[in-house]
A and B are shown apart, each in its own frame.
Chain A
Amino acid sequence: MTELIRVVLVDDHALVRAGVKAEIGDHVQVVGEADDVEGAIDVICGLQPDVVLLDVHLPGGDGPTVIEGVKQADIDTCFLALSVSDAAEDVIAVIRAGARGYVTKAIDGIDLVDAIHRVAAGDAVFSPRLAGFVLDAFAGQIPVAEIDPELDLLTNREQEVLRLLARGYAYKEVASRLAISVKTVESHASSVLRKLQLSNRHELSRWAAHRRLI
């Protein structure tokens, strides 16, 4: 690897930022930090990092607000949600806004660095918890009313992959269990994310049309 991945940390707790920085600082380049929504948007737009580690809850808004703000500024960066939050709705909301994955803060340094690399490469990062949340969301257990039942059904294969991820299987283990390649597992995971986010955009355009905005 010629160049270290450039990372921005967004978390309202200086202690947490310091802790995360100490854990990943040797493997990625932490170029900036922010502790609220406005500061985060400014820092991200100014530095244009490869990956943003984003807390789900922030003062002055929350994770999705940051992602929307950065999108409006037309900055291309990847978001990885990092939180202690257990509330499924909040996590799904960040994913739907465009984050490429969700890991809990209990993740250890090596796994976090690995997740950052995967997100930077355009892959999806599914912790078991996120896989569970997504299964719940598509089963209608989490009130994400915007999910369009016609458009967004998961295929059987995608459900199988998600279930194995929720059981704690790594991508490699999922691949060997289902007798498919790791690349295929990755593409299934990405397609699940895309379905979550697509339904979001679909809903958004309907919302906008309804209010005569477009």
Chain B
Amino acid sequence: MTGTAAGIAREVGIDPVYLRISFVVLTLAGGWGLVLYLTAWIVMSRPGLSDEPYEPIAKAVTPRARVVAFAMIATGLAMLSSSYGLSFLGSLMWPSVFLGAAFVIGLDRSRLDRLRPLGDVQNRTIGVRVALGLALLFAGVISASFVSLSFWQAIGGIVVAGLVLLGAAVVFAPIISTLANDLLAERRARIRSEERADMAAHLHDSVLQTLTLIQKRSPDASVVSLARRQERELRTWLFDDKSMNPNLGFRVGLESAMAGVDNMCDVALEVVVVGDCPTDDNVTALLQAAREAASNAARHSGANRIDVFAEVGHEHIEVFVRDLGVGFDPARIDGDRAGVRDSIIGRMERNGGSAEVHSSRGEGTEVELRMPRSDATDPDELQTF
């Protein structure tokens, strides 16, 4: 704690942990350890010593021999003090020795810190340390039981201690194993997404370019539509991280709805989405209406390109579907365009939205869909409702 043990250990040439153990043992065995420690501390903490690192004089004995010698001295002192009745603790000496040793081993922070960067070695050492600590704790409990209790009572105590340990294991095992599993899953997911990014970059540079080129250069309409579909699918797979997530947001929902129209009708759809929001019933209705508007445009307008623009605003979501095809007269909407009234305007209005159709013959068509957001959370927005 005060560097006393470390200082002595440095001079003697052994690991400080042995010294700390001996101090604790001696303290518990008769209080002498504390006396020795305080004395050493006072002696060693004289002011005025230089800050230069202290180099111990080389000793002839090997470190191992020193440890053994030191242990013998400490044990001897402990036994001596107890046999002459100098102990403060009396018959509780051995249990205390075991418990104290367990704590010293378990709580020796400086060693743990030093071991931390060593990876596997660290894990193994910690395992040994924990096992040793538990064994000592157990020994302490057992010896304590034998000191004050009869044989059967002692056995009972041991069983109780065992049950307590078992209970702790049962409580903590799932937590530990969950943590370990999470870590493993996270590492796996990261590796997978890195691999995916690599593959995406490669496919992007090779296959997508080729597919685009096929679309532009091939005279065969069916080849063009096949290439476009492949491109769209590949693109969705490559660039959409949310493709794994069953609860898709508005943006992905609209893009996939439009891809469906594209596949069905062989018209180029230029889909531009600004912003995003989660999907709910109203958003789903909006997506269905937008899909209907786009497929109407694809089937009836005769245009070769349809522009779809959607913007998720603070208060509502707007979708515009525009083509430059033949157009029609909105006044006759009741007669031959029941789909517009039911699937688009009706669906939007039932869900609290609105739809407008602008069209005239020869000028193309634009359908404007507007749906208020039900998840608006900004206080400014709430006031406007």
Interface, chain A (partner B; CB < 8 A): 12-13, 15-16, 19, 23, 57, 84-87, 105-106, 108, 128-129, 131-132, 135-136, 139, 141, 163, 166-169
Contact = CB atoms under 8 A, between A and B. Distances in A.
A85 B268 CA distance: 17
Given A84-B209, A163-B311, A167-B307, A141 B275 contact: yes
A129 B269 CA distance: 12
B276 interface: yes
Contacts of B205: 12-13, 57
Given A57-B204, A163-B311, A132 B273 contact: yes
Interface stretch (B23-31, B212-220, B278-286): B212-220
Contacts, number: 70
A81 B97 CA distance: 78
A132 B274 CA distance: 6
Interface in B197-228: 201, 204-205, 208-210, 212-213, 215-217
Interface of B: 201, 204-205, 208-210, 212-213, 215-217, 235, 239, 268, 270, 272-276, 305, 307, 309, 311, 320, 322, 366
B213 A19 contact: yes
A128 B274 contact: no
Contact of B215 (A106, A128, A132, A163): A106
Given A16-B213, A167-B307, 13 more contacts: A23-B216, A84-B204, A84-B209, A87-B239, A108-B216, A128-B307, A132-B309, A139-B274, A163-B309, A163-B311, A166-B272, A167-B320, A169-B322
B88 to A, nearest CB: 65
B239 A106 contact: no
Nearest to A15: B213
Given A84-B204, A128-B309, A129-B270, A136 B275 contact: yes
Contacts of A105: 209, 212-213, 216
Nearest to B206: A13
B259 to A, nearest CB: 13
19 contacts: A12-B205, A13-B205, A15-B209, A19-B213, A57-B201, A84-B204, A86-B239, A105-B209, A105-B213, A106-B216, A128-B270, A132-B274, A135-B311, A141-B274, A141-B275, A166-B309, A167-B309, A167-B320, A168-B270
B324 to A, nearest CB: 8
A163 B272 CA distance: 10
Contacts of B276: 141
A54 to B, nearest CB: 15
A11 to B, nearest CB: 8
B208 A84 contact: yes
Nearest to A109: B216
Nearest to A16: B209
B293 to A, nearest CB: 13
Contacts of A84: 204, 208-209, 212
Contacts of B204: 57, 84-85
A168 B209 contact: no
Contacts of A141: 274-276
A136 B274 CA distance: 5
B321 to A, nearest CB: 9
Contacts of A136: 274-275
Contacts of A86: 235, 239
B275 A139 contact: yes
B274 A19 contact: no
Nearest to A106: B212
A200 B194 CA distance: 29
Contacts of B208: 84
